[in-house]
Amino acid sequence: MGPNTNYKNFMGVSTFMKKLLQKLNKPSAKYSILALVLIGAVITVAGVVVMNKSLHYFSQTEFCVSCHTMKQNYEEYKQSIHYSNAKGIRAECVDCHQPKDFVGKIWRKMGAYKDVYHHFVTGKIDTPEKFEEHRLELAQKVWDRMADENYKTCTTCHSYEAMDHDKQSVQAMKEMIPAAKENMACIECHKGIAHELPNMAGGFRKTFETLTASAIAPAGAKKLFSIEEKSLFATADANGKVEGQLLPASEVEVIGEEGEMLKVRVQGWIETNGKGRVMTEYMGKRVFKATVRGDVKATETVISEEVDPATNIAWKQVAVNAYITKDHLVQSIDPVWDYASEMFASTCNSCHAAPAPGHFTANGWISSLKAMSAYYRLSKTEERTLLKYLQNHGSDTGGVGAH
């Protein structure tokens, strides 16, 4: 194709564009320009009115609960303070679930297609039983969306600046004053304000199931971490006598392998004048790592000796050799901490905002977690893992989960 051909093509396109613009700019032979402007204005106004009326209709509580899977949510909402209160102020569905600004409102409407899709197409939530099964997942999406929107649906009605703490109850004042100082989000303490809280354990327990499925020590691994309690043996026999326990989230060094067993080195601290059975992660801190006895205890070697300046108690850093099975072991502590962090958010933060892990010392977390134990339902292993996470992220252990 030569240059003349390209030039002719360019001129042809240019001529076409000129003719098109001339037609668009040419006055209508049938209607005056004023009539066309008025018709356009009427169509625009009609469009705005129709859109406004449509948004109003689709934003009514009656429409929101017209889907039968929302009936249970509606009944829960009717029992809440947002539905009936001394001041006679009612927050409708859209007040909490839909931003007031136009862009946020349209975006929320567009996002609602997922609920419709899962109700009518996939059938994922088309019955109350199925909805209940996925309640935690759905609730978490709402909480995440509120956080992404900086909780503007909450702050439309509530603001710290407008609060008169003297008119609040003693308990409310006790909670709200520090919350106002830290500018905490409403949802941090009030997740169950309008609807029944989902089973918060469902999320982190599924995470643990996934973690367990892949927690098999790979060949050649030199450093491993336990995800739950593991028995310590003095010989490479999983049916032999148990000579101790390795606690969750504890590190071991692999020094050998015999069949289906790993020979490991467990290092930690014990009190010099104690019985020497309990091994801790740190000197002077009750961050328990393992218990040892019998023939495993007999392999103990002393690495160093120190005196804790805070208590004047003598400690020994020691190491023991033992055998463990290859299951429930991971190469990085990070997935264990992620699981424990999710557990912390699901249990300790489900009613009121819990302090950050770095708020207490490692030893301080023992009594603090015990004080909250009446408000959560965890197994002994889960509780030990959670405590280990909090202690390893405490104010005196680096705050980063370091071992």
Closest CA to 188 of 76, 80, 350, 344: 350
- Check whether 1 has a pLDDT greater than 60: no
User: Do 314 and 357 have their domain in common?
Assistant: no
Which of 37-51, 163-177, 220-234, 242-256 is predicted least confidently?
A: 37-51
Q: Does residue 123 fall inside a structural domain?
A: yes
Predicted confidence at residue 281, as pLDDT, reads 95
- The closest of 233, 229, 315 to 276, measured between CA atoms, is 315
223 and 134 in a single domain? The answer is no
- Residue range of the domain that includes 255: 215-330
- Last residue of some domain: 119, 149, 179? 149
Given 121, 149, 177, which residue is the final one in a domain? 149
Distance CA 50, CA 56 (A): 10
Burial track 25-43 (b if 16+ CB lie within 10 A, e otherwise): eeeeeeeeeeeeeeeeeee
Q: Is pLDDT of 130 > 90?
A: no
- Find the mean pLDDT for residues 44-48: 84
**78 and 103 together in one domain:** yes
| Contact partners, residue 53, CB within 8 Å, separation at least 6 | none
**Residue 15, in any domain of the structure:** no
Q: Which of 330, 352, 380 marks a domain boundary? A: 330
Length of the chain: 403
pLDDT single digits (tens) 386-403? 999 999 999 998 765 554
Taking a C-beta distance cutoff of 8 angstroms, is the pair 398, 258 a contact?
Answer: no
pLDDT exceeds cutoff 90 at 251? yes
Per-residue pLDDT at 14 exceeds 60: yes
Local confidence band at 336 (pLDDT 50, 70, 90 cut-offs) = very high
Residues 319 and 351 in one domain: no
Report the pLDDT value the prediction gives residue 117, as an integer from 0 to 100: 81
At residue 286, the pLDDT reads: 94
- Mean pLDDT for 361-375 is 85
| pLDDT higher than threshold 90 for residue 233 | yes
For residues 107 and 14, the model is more confident at: 107
Q: What residue numbers does the annotated binding site for heme cover?
A: 64, 67-68, 93, 96-97, 154, 157-158, 186, 189-190, 348, 351-352
Which tokens hold the place of 360? 């207490």
User: Quick one: 343 and 314 in the same domain?
Assistant: no
Q: Is residue 309 part of a domain?
A: yes
Summarised one tens digit per residue, pLDDT across range 48-105 is: 788 778 778 888 888 888 877 788 888 888 888 898 988 898 999 988 888 888 888 8
- Which residue has better confidence, 59 or 234? 234
Annotated binding site: 64, 67-68, 93, 96-97, 154, 157-158, 186, 189-190, 348, 351-352
Q: Which residues of 274-297 are buried (b: 16+ CB within 10 A; e: fewer)?
A: eeeebbbbbbbbebbbbbbbebbb
318 and 221 in a common domain? yes
Same domain membership, residue 319 and residue 219:
yes
287-305: pLDDT as tens digits:
999 999 999 999 999 999 9
**Mean pLDDT, range 302-317, rounded to an integer:** 94
Tell me if 251 is assigned to some domain: yes
Q: Judging by DSSP bridges, how do beta strands 285-292 and 251-258 pair with one another?
A: unpaired
CA geometry: angle at 386 spanning 292 and 212, to 5°? 80
**Whether residue 276 sits in one domain with residue 316:** yes
Residue 266: phi and psi, rounded to 5, are -110, 125
Residue 196 is predicted with a pLDDT of 78
Q: Does residue 281 lie within any of the structural domains?
A: yes
pLDDT value of position 4: 56
* Structural domain includes residue 314: yes
Confidence of residue 353 (pLDDT cuts 50, 70, 90): low
Q: Scan for tokens 């495993």, then name that residue.
A: 296
Confirm whether 57 is domain-assigned: no
Question: Residue 296 domain-assigned?
Answer: yes
Please indicate, yes or no, whether residues 131 and 220 belong to a single structural domain of this protein: no
Tally of structural domains, the chain = 3
User: Distance (Å, rounded) from C-alpha 47 to C-alpha 41?
Assistant: 10
What residue spans of 187-333 are helical by DSSP H? 201-214, 294-297
Q: Do 363 and 324 sit in the same domain of this protein?
A: no
Looking at the structure, do residues 318 and 355 belong to the same domain, yes or no?
no
Higher pLDDT, 3 or 85: 85
pLDDT at 65: 82
Query: Residue 50: is it exposed, middle or buried by C-beta count within 10 angstroms (0-12/13-18/19+)?
Result: exposed
Q: What is the pTM of this model?
A: 0.63
**pLDDT tens per residue, range 190-217:** 877 888 777 666 678 889 999 999 999 9
Residues 118, 122, 126, 127: is their CA dihedral positive or negative? Answer: negative
Do 292 and 263 reside in the same domain of the chain? yes
